[in-house]
Amino acid sequence: MDLAALGLTLRLAFVTTLCLLVIATPLAAWIADAAGAPTRTTRLHILARRMAQAAVALPLVLPPTVLGLYLLLGMGPATALGRALIAVFGHPLAFSFPGLVVGSILYSLPFAVQPLVLGFEGVPRELRETAAVLGASRWTVFRRVTLPLAAPSFLTAAVLAFTHTVGEFGVVLMIGGDIPGITRTLSISIYDQVQEMNYSAANHASLLLIALAFVALLALYARGARRTDGGRWLA
């Protein structure tokens, strides 16, 4: 089995999950209107939130090649953004580990945002209202009421983002190519081995991926059975 590919995959999934939790928390909080007491929102505001939610969910339905294509163009010298990124990093982001992280963040974004949105929305409104009128500011309500009560959703978001990133193929191939040790993840390594008719190695790597995914999902569901919380997104 390709151990370098396994190490790279786990590193990519770990970094991506950390970045995603940081990005997805404020995004989900905004979509779910999770700070302070629930407020009356204008139609424009509601529309903006729904549009953000739809945009976040796009990677669920788009072919990874579409996402990969635009990431490749966006990171390359053909666009102003790409040229700026090259100037900042000193090299094109495409075909590098940071490039893979950026691609994985976008690709797994819905898997981190959706459980958090559901978790935040599941906090009873009267708890937030009561906390607010008893003197808690918007931020305090979020930190001391919404966040602790939605805590299980963070586990759901982290497990889903991690496992989904591990299973990523198309985006990685498009923007990472297939450079051993740098961008060749386990899923791509399996593809290569099948191409070389090396079925035994492909089998081992595949079994490992199945076991990894199964254990992670089992942990999630076992927890969801004990408590009715953010895990319900999968159920």
Partner 1 sequence: MPETALSQTQLPHHRLAVTAKLGALLISVDFELRAPWTVLFGPSGSGKSSLLRAMCGFEVGGPATTIQFTRMAQDGSITSMDALPSSRRDIAYAPQSPALLPHLDAGRNVSFPFEVCSSPVRDSNIVDEALGLFKLHALAERRPRELSGGEAQRVNLARAFATPGAKLLLLDEPFNGIDRATRDALLPELLRVAATRGVPVVSVTHDVEEALRLEAEVIRIENGQVVAQGTARTVLAEEARRIAAVLR
Binding interface with partner 1 (CB under 8 A): 36-40, 124, 126-127, 129-138, 140-141, 144-145, 148-149
Minimal distance in Å, beta carbon 49 to partner 1?
A: 16
3-state secondary structure the chain: CCHHHHHHHHHHHHHHHHHHHHHHHHHHHHHCCCCCCCCCCCHHHHHHHHHHHHHHHHHHHCCHHHHHHHHHHHHCCCCHHHHHHHHHHCCCCCCCHHHHHHHHHHHHHHHHHHHHHHHHHCCCHHHHHHHHHCCCCHHHHHHHHHHHHCHHHHHHHHHHHHHHHHCCCHHHHHHHCCCCCCCCCHHHHHHHHHHCCCHHHHHHHHHHHHHHHHHHHHHHHHHHHHCCCHHHHCC
CB of 14 to partner 1, least distance (A): 28
Nearest to 34 by CA among 20, 44, 42, 24: 24
Residue among 37 and 186 whose Cβ is closer to partner 1 = 37
**Would you state the torsion angle of the CA atoms of residues 13, 18, 21, 26, taken in this order, to the nearest 10 degrees?**
-130
Nearer to partner 1, 10 or 48 (CB): 48
Q: Please report how close the Cβ of residue 131 comes to partner 1 at its closest, in angstroms.
A: 7
Q: Work out how close the CB of 138 gets to partner 1 at its nearest, in angstroms, rounded to a whole number.
A: 7
Nearer to partner 1, 39 or 65 (CB): 39
- 79 or 137, CB closer to partner 1? 137
Residue 35 structure tokens: 């700070």
Name which of 5 and 147 has its Cβ closer to partner 1. Answer: 147
Output the six-digit token pair for 69. 């294509």
The least CB distance from residue 148 to partner 1, in Å, is: 5
- Nearest distance, CB of residue 142 and partner 1, angstroms: 12
Nearest CB to partner 1, comparing residues 7 and 124 = 124
The CB-of-210 to partner 1 minimum distance in angstroms stands at 36
36 or 231: whose CB is closer to partner 1?
A: 36
CB 118 within 8 A of CB 160: no
